[in-house]
Structure 1
Amino acid sequence: MRYSIFASLLSAVTTVYGYANPMACTGICTNAHDPALIRHKDGTYWRFSTGGKIAMHSAPAITGPWTYKGAAIPSGSKINLAGRNDLWAPDVTLVGSTYYLYYTVSSFGSQNSAIGVATSTNLKTWTDHGSTGITSSAGKNFNAIDGALYWDGSKFVMSYGSFWNDIFAVNMANPPLKSTSGAANIAFKPSGTHAQEGPFIAKNGNYHYLFFSAGQCCGFDKNRPARGQEYKIQVCRSKSATGGFVDKAGKSCTNGGGTTVLESHGYVYGPGGQGVYYDPKLGPVLYYHYVDTRVGYADGMKRFGINRLNFSSGWPVVV
């Protein structure tokens, strides 16, 4: 009850004064592009991120101090595509006693992409299994990047996608090493450059919430977009994890819908690459990367951000 009252008060303050700033972070808080977050049963937190063959960091608390632990897939992916040694957009999930780490093999601007998977029992050492079967190539209406696994209560679902027709979902086998169904389009912005990617589905109450990043993600130090066109985090919800998502105004997520959860404010610029983690102490938290304008706009300077989430209104609010 005390947490609910506190969260409600913080939500009210956020509504009046703007978005809450990220929680304090100590240790190595950069090297955090497209972060994935999980907590080991011993209480240690692990963070995985784009680059360095999936860079790993660990910390005794969710805020740090974070220390570098090496590359998750040091020999590169088994997937024979350009980018097999520069892996992107990890997602990590515990299924039974096994951790599943999903990653992207691609190159910037190309549809020659695939989502791979590795497994571990300790989060420290990983066995690469190569492709999940989710692949794309020139001419397809999706790009096979940014995969994130989700258990919808009866089956595993993988959401993924970027640009073209944006975001899709497929069913996964159990255990979730391979896809088992064709792709269903679950979010699309029909106007502009279709800049929508990085999906992540999280459950709260009776709804499945589809979080995604919209706008320009990268290269802010060289080519900063018009104000408001940089990365921001949006959400739609549905009672099905594979379709029917709408935003707070009721607009379909496949027709440009999306309610903004977090965007540039104060020293925070271009937040995105997000996920949701249900922390045993903090409850639901939104984690993401962002540029700290007090430091610099380069991709390598992107920092790890965390905010609590309050779902009391039926829609997530950062606090």
Structure 2
Amino acid sequence: MHFRHLALPVASLAALAYGYANPETCSGECVIYDPTLIRRSSDGTYFRFSTGNEISYCTASSLLGPWTSVGSVLPDGSSIDLDGNTDLWAPDVHYIDDLYYVYYAVSTFGSQDSAIGLATSATMDLGSWTDHGSVGIQSSSAKIYNAIDPSLIEVDGTYYMQFGSFWDDIYQVKMNSAATAASGSSYNIAYYPDGTHPEEGSYMYAYGDYYYLFYSWGICCSYDTDLPASGQEYHIKVCRSTSATGDFVDADGTACTDGGGTIVLESHGEVYGPGGQGVYDDPTYGTILYYAYTNTSIGYADDEKQFGWNTIDWSTGWPVV
């Protein structure tokens, strides 16, 4: 592992002055990337899934931990016939029709040869997962999007999948009634027109009269070898719409398909490059934003990223950490 104790970039100091809250304390197994959360209703146990180890997962009795490693969802990898099918990414967990669904991405870093798969379990116990392979969302260099970072939302009985990374950024597709396969054509819902189009890791959440599209913007990884220019590191943005299928705008009214996006959380204090986020309604703490981040007092390597979460204040109509 490589450690780099650097002076904080100007953007981080500005964020600190803005007043972002520090992440809540994490205990136990706190190293993570691309987290997703669910709570098993039968016993109240929290399950946290993440990138790596063929989708690794942990359990805890509280969001504060201590988090204990369970193992891998698919220890033999995915049945999807693509490079990277034993290095699964960016899980997204849901409870649908008495089954726990974990969507995952198959790809290799920087490639468009990507697909989204699905595994299910009745209990989430180790060894109980069934791999169903591809859900029909797949990309290649012939397409303008990348099929990674799945995120499902249910709207009045209809399921939609958000996905995508860089290239043409974030897309959406309608799913079938069981949420096991795409049933329509994909369409763009967020796009940053300049540079490398650095938007990915979307997560849609309904609150009040709006659907909020959270996403990660910037460079996610390898901070220990190549620190991005100030402000180009991961941070979390949001747009909103009264429809789940489009017309998302930021707090200034700029369309999310034209580079719009209001910052929710960015580098501050010892927190650097937060992203890979999701939103969860917790019975104890209320609505929370969870994510992975680099703790500058620990180290900048990808395998040192930490699990963080904060409660969300909605009083302005926009999520505030």
TM-score (norm. length: structure 1): 0.94
Give the whole-Å Cα distance in 2 for the aligned partners of 1:290 and 1:158. 25
Structure 1 unaligned regions, length at least 5: 1-13
Structure 2 residue aligned with 1:8:
none
2:226 matches 1:223:
yes
Alpha-carbon contact 2:37-2:49 (below 8 Å) kept: yes
Tell me the alpha carbon deviations over residues 18-53 of structure 1, each in whole angstroms, 9 at most, x when there is no partner: 1000000000101x1000111111111010000100
Supply the AA of the counterpart residue of 2:68. T
> Which residue matches 2:150?
147
CA distance in 1, matches of 2:120, 2:224: 36
Check if 1:76 corresponds to 2:77.
yes
Of residues 157, 164, 169, the one that matches 1:166 is 169
Q: What amino acid is the match of 2:307?
A: F
SS at match of 1:131: strand
Structure 1 residue 63 corresponds to structure 2 residue 67: no
Q: Separation in 2 of the partners of 1:15 and 1:27?
A: 27
How much has 1:17 moved relative to structure 2?
5.2
> Cα offset for 1:306?
0.6
The C-alpha deviation readout for 1:94-122, integer Å capped at 9, x for no partner, is 11311110000000111000000011111
Aligned-pair distance for 1:15?
9.8
1:155-194 to structure 2, matched below 5 A, reads 155-194=158-197
How far, CA to CA, are the matches of 1:229 and 1:245 in structure 2? 23
Unaligned runs of 5+ in 2: 1-14
Corresponding position of 1:304: 307
Name the CA shift for 1:236/1:170 in 2 (closer, same or farther; >3 Å).
same
Residue number in structure 2 paired with 1:10: none
Report the AA paired with residue 92 of structure 1: V
Kept after mapping to 1: 8 A contact 2:16/2:269: no
Indicate conservation of the 8 Å contact 2:191/2:258, yes or no: yes
Partner SS for 1:300: helix
DSSP-derived class of the 1:277 partner:
strand
Take 2:269 and 2:17, find their aligned partners in 1: how far apart are those partners?
15
When residues 81 and 36 of structure 1 are mapped into structure 2, their CA distance, relative to the original with a 3 A threshold, is same
* Amino acid of the structure 2 residue aligned with 1:49: S
Taking structure 2 as the reference length, the TM-score comes to: 0.93
Which SS does the other structure have where 2:312 is aligned?
strand
Counterpart in the other structure of 1:23:
24
1:39 maps onto 2:42 in alignment: no
Whole-angstrom distance in 2 between the partners of 1:17 and 1:135:
40
Distance across 2 between alignment mates of 1:100 and 1:173: 14
Count residues in correspondence.
Answer: 304
Identical aligned pairs, as a percentage?
A: 55
Q: Mapping of 1:249-268 within 5 angstroms?
A: 249-268=252-271
**Superposition misfits of 4+ residues, deviation over 4 angstroms:** 14-17
Q: CA RMSD in A?
A: 1.1
